[in-house]
Amino acid sequence: MDVELSGDKIGSRKAPAVAADALPRLSSRDQLIRKLAIASQAGHMSASLAVLSEYVGASHFLLARYDLVQEHGLDFVVSSNWPFDLVRRLESEIAATYSRSTELDKCMSVLQPKFGLLPDDAAVPVGISRQYCSLTVSVGRTRLALMLLFEENFVLSPELLREVGLLTGYCVSLSTRKAQKSDRDFELTERELECLFWIAEGKTSDEIATILGISRNTINNYITSVMRKTATKTRSEAIAYAVRNNLV
């Protein structure tokens, strides 16, 4: 059976009984569009993906740029709320899977969701299935994959998955335009760019502190400043932002 999401699950508030006739409840799709509009206008890619994940019933999302997939490093991660260790465990396998795909397979994946199993030695959150769903979207010349995790025994709706795939491309296109506009709105210092470069190389704060000869706390302050200026919430998002905007 396809999953049906009620208005309550999407986040509506129960209206007073006296106003029930005068204020009909919004459908789940109407609420989805309203939430996406708010997140997109603010330029928050992670917020948009969280809204789409909730709509389709997913517990975790990971948006990856396939054109940036490499055997090492997480620069291909655009936005994610997957556990960091799980992403680290999968990075080489994601790269290998994509490199083995033919161009026809890549094109067909835009139309058809794909399913895969996480490795047995990969630590997944309690109650989350090892099977994940991957939706491929294209924005201009950029091909991306939205990888979703669900609770165990959750039944997916093909219709909702198709909608989420289309809306993901729309949200990415909006986010990209806002990112290009914001290039002129901030400047990173030389130290911040150095820290950004080294975290893109996979270095920890302790390792960067040793390389640059300053304290670990100072490094963390620089990295926090970078994420504030680039409107990113994690190091992986900051790396992806830096790569997209040729900052490293």
Same domain, 171 and 191: no
pLDDT value for 77: 80
Look at residue 83 and tell me if it is in a domain: yes
Same domain, 109 and 203: no
Tell me what the mean pLDDT of segment 90-103 comes to.
71
Using 50, 70 and 90 to split pLDDT, how confident is the model at 241? confident
Look at residue 40 and tell me if it is in a domain: yes
Same domain, 61 and 102: yes
Same domain, 50 and 119: yes
DSSP 25: P
Q: What is the 3-state secondary structure (H, E, C) of 119-177?
A: CCCCCCCCCEEEEEEEEEEEECCEEEEEEEEEECCCCCCHHHHHHHHHHHHHHHHHHHH
Same domain, 176 and 216: no
Look up the CATH number of the domain holding residue 65.
Answer: 3.30.450
Same domain, 124 and 220: no
Tell me what the mean pLDDT of segment 201-214 comes to.
88
| Domain stop point among 134, 157, 182 | 182
Asked if 62 and 77 count as a contact pair (C-beta separation under 8 A), the reply is: yes
pLDDT in tens, 137-156: 888 777 888 999 999 999 99
Dihedral sign of CA atoms 199, 246, 81, 217 in order: positive
Tell me what the mean pLDDT of segment 173-197 comes to.
67
How far apart (Å, rounded) are the C-alpha atoms in residues 129 and 82? 13
Tell me what the mean pLDDT of segment 95-105 comes to.
70
Same domain, 94 and 198: no
Indicate whether 49 pLDDT > 80.
yes
Same domain, 32 and 127: yes
Give the domain extent around 195: 186-244
Same domain, 176 and 221: no
Look at residue 21 and tell me if it is in a domain: no
pLDDT value for 70: 54
pLDDT value for 5: 35
Same domain, 127 and 209: no
| Domain stop point among 130, 158, 182 | 182
The tally of domains found in the chain comes to: 2
Using 50, 70 and 90 to split pLDDT, how confident is the model at 93? confident
Tell me what the mean pLDDT of segment 38-57 comes to.
85
pLDDT value for 26: 58
pLDDT value for 11: 38
Look at residue 2 and tell me if it is in a domain: no
Look up the CATH number of the domain holding residue 218.
Answer: 1.10.10.10
Look at residue 124 and tell me if it is in a domain: yes
Residue that the structure tokens 């080294």 belong to: 198
Look at residue 58 and tell me if it is in a domain: yes
Q: Work out the percent of the chain whose per-residue pLDDT is above 90.
A: 17
Residues facing 157 on adjacent strands:
none
Same domain, 119 and 161: yes
pLDDT value for 55: 92
Indicate whether 97 pLDDT > 80.
no
Indicate whether 163 pLDDT > 70.
yes
Same domain, 190 and 176: no
pLDDT in tens, 50-92: 999 999 999 999 998 876 655 445 667 888 899 888 888 887 7
Q: Work out the percent of the chain whose per-residue pLDDT is above 70.
A: 73
Q: To the nearest whole number, what is the mean pLDDT of the chain?
A: 77
pLDDT value for 143: 81
| Domain stop point among 182, 202, 233 | 182
pTM: 0.60
